[in-house]
Amino acid sequence: MATISEYERDAKNKPTSAAEIVTSGGTRIYLLPVETLPGHLNNIFLVDDPTYPVLFDVGTKRSSDELDARFEEIESRFGCTTKLKDLQEVVISHAHLDHYGDAHRMHDMGLPISIHELDARVLINFDERLAVASRDMAVFLRQSGMDEADLEVRMQLYKFEKSMFESLEPDRRLRHGDTIGPGWDVTHVPGHCPGMVMLTIDDVILTADHLLERITPAQHPQSITPFTGLENYLRSLKKIYAMSEGRLGLGAHGGPIPNMKRRIHETVTHHEVRLRQVFNACRAQPLTVAEIARELFGTLQNYGKVLGLTETGAHVEYLHALGFLHIENIDDVKDRIDAPVKYSADSRVRAPQFIRTER
Ligand SMILES: [Zn+2]
Ligand SMILES: [Zn+2]
């Protein structure tokens, strides 16, 4: 069974120092926590195979120096002498900025960059994808009933992301079933992001953002980004259930996950409860996504508002797709793509079990 060294952690159990994990097959993995965005920690992993060392995620430009310091830390604490220049492959778990933002540095060092084929376009056509995603996000936010004044947040976000990255051609496009290095399996788990991948090394799974110790990964409606959405996410949780048995999960945020199956159950339950809240709110009266988000999360500020709406929107989309919600104001909506949509649930129907858990 995999063992993990002592490490420093904060009040929420997030690692704040490096840790060494040794798998059942004797492979050494180093967990390297770095601050990728203000107040936002990511775990980067060095899989230190003697002949094929691999980095899993790279962090952002902001965390470059900290990553270098972590390499020094694991040399002094654990005697790991592997350096960035020694890496045989750099795997990006998925195309979210906190995971790939510093990819240019690795690319400029001549290190091969790998990413799943469904996320490759984010790196290749960064400006195009950002522009289109921003437009589709604006449509979603208007459909959600967000105030026009608040839509400014989207533009701030757009400008921020644009300043953080320039297009880059990855060297390898990964698919489900590919292997890395000596035979580590790539598992494609779309949902939180279209091209999300996990990597299995003996009895350890690098779960990236798919499964996390304390939080549940943000959900996005498929209407904004294909291959995301709750339906895909839940299917991808089911996909990893059997392989999770007896394995240690290492997520990209927070601490290790010693019991992955239990964490999968907790994550599914979290979404079942949230679906129930959405359904019951819409039984009481017709509501927009923004109004439902207020019931779920209270008043949110700035980017939190967008995150609250996409999270709520993913649950509303799922219930609507399954026929549990219907559009109350269809006359307003039928000719206008960005009209605010009000959803209703049949008040005579009690909330059923939304997520089927049989395997
Ligand atoms: Zn992510
Ligand atoms: Zn993340």
User: Residue 43 Cα, ligand 2 centroid: separation in angstroms?
Assistant: 9
Tokens for 203, please give them: 């009895």
User: Residue 329 Cα, ligand 1 centroid: separation in angstroms?
Assistant: 34
Give Cα 307 to chain centroid, integer Å: 13
Instruction: Say yes or no: 190 and 318 in one domain.
Output: no
Instruction: Say yes or no: 238 and 281 in one domain.
Output: no
User: Residue 42 Cα, ligand 2 centroid: separation in angstroms?
Assistant: 7
User: Residue 191 Cα, ligand 1 centroid: separation in angstroms?
Assistant: 10
- Model confidence over 27-43: pLDDT tens digits? 999 999 999 999 999 99
Instruction: Say yes or no: 71 and 102 in one domain.
Output: yes
Is there a domain that residue 120 lies in? yes
Count of other CB atoms within 10 angstroms of residue 169: 9
Q: Which domain holds residue 301?
A: 269-344
Is there a domain that residue 307 lies in? yes
Count of other CB atoms within 10 angstroms of residue 114: 20
Predicted confidence band of residue 155 (pLDDT cuts 50, 70, 90): confident
Instruction: Say yes or no: 254 and 317 in one domain.
Output: no
Predicted confidence band of residue 232 (pLDDT cuts 50, 70, 90): very high
User: Residue 7 Cα, ligand 1 centroid: separation in angstroms?
Assistant: 24
Predicted confidence band of residue 211 (pLDDT cuts 50, 70, 90): very high
Instruction: Say yes or no: 238 and 275 in one domain.
Output: no
- Residue 15, pLDDT > 90, answer yes
Mean pLDDT of 243-253: 98
**Average pLDDT of the chain?**
95
Is there a domain that residue 356 lies in? no
Is there a domain that residue 351 lies in? no
User: Residue 93 Cα, ligand 1 centroid: separation in angstroms?
Assistant: 9
Predicted confidence band of residue 70 (pLDDT cuts 50, 70, 90): very high
Distance CA 185, CA 177 (A): 6
- Model confidence over 127-140: pLDDT tens digits? 999 999 889 999 99
Instruction: Say yes or no: 33 and 159 in one domain.
Output: yes
Distance CA 60, CA 215 (A): 21
- Residue 359, pLDDT > 60, answer no
- Residue 357, pLDDT > 80, answer no
Domain total in the chain: 2
Mean pLDDT of 115-136: 94
Q: Which residues surround ligand 2, an ion (CB under 5 A)?
A: 209
**pLDDT cut 90: percent of the chain above it:** 87
Ligand in nearest proximity to the CA of 60: 2
Ligand in nearest proximity to the CA of 189: 1
**pLDDT cut 70: percent of the chain above it:** 99
- Residue 300, pLDDT > 60, answer yes
User: Last residue of some domain: 214, 229, 260?
Assistant: 260
Is there a domain that residue 299 lies in? yes
- Residue 145, pLDDT > 60, answer yes
What is the SS3 assignment for the chain? CCEECCCCECCCCCECCCEEEECCCCCEEEEEEEEEECCEEEEEEEECCCCCCEEECCCCHHHHHHHHHHHHHHHHHHCCCCCHHHCCEEECCCCCHHHHCCHHHHHHCCCCEEEECCCHHHHHCHHHHHHHHHHHHHHHHHHHCCCCHHHHHHHHHHHHHHHHCCCCCCCEEECCCCEECCCEEEEECCCCCCCCEEEEECCEEEEECCCCCCCCCCCCCCCCCCCCCHHHHHHHHHHHHHHHCCCEEEECCCCEECCHHHHHHHHHHHHHHHHHHHHHHHHHCCECHHHHHHHHHCCCCHHHHHHHHHHHHHHHHHHHHCCCCEECCHHHHCCCCCCCCCEECCCCCCCCCCCCCCC
- Residue 249: phi and psi, rounded to 5, are -95, 135
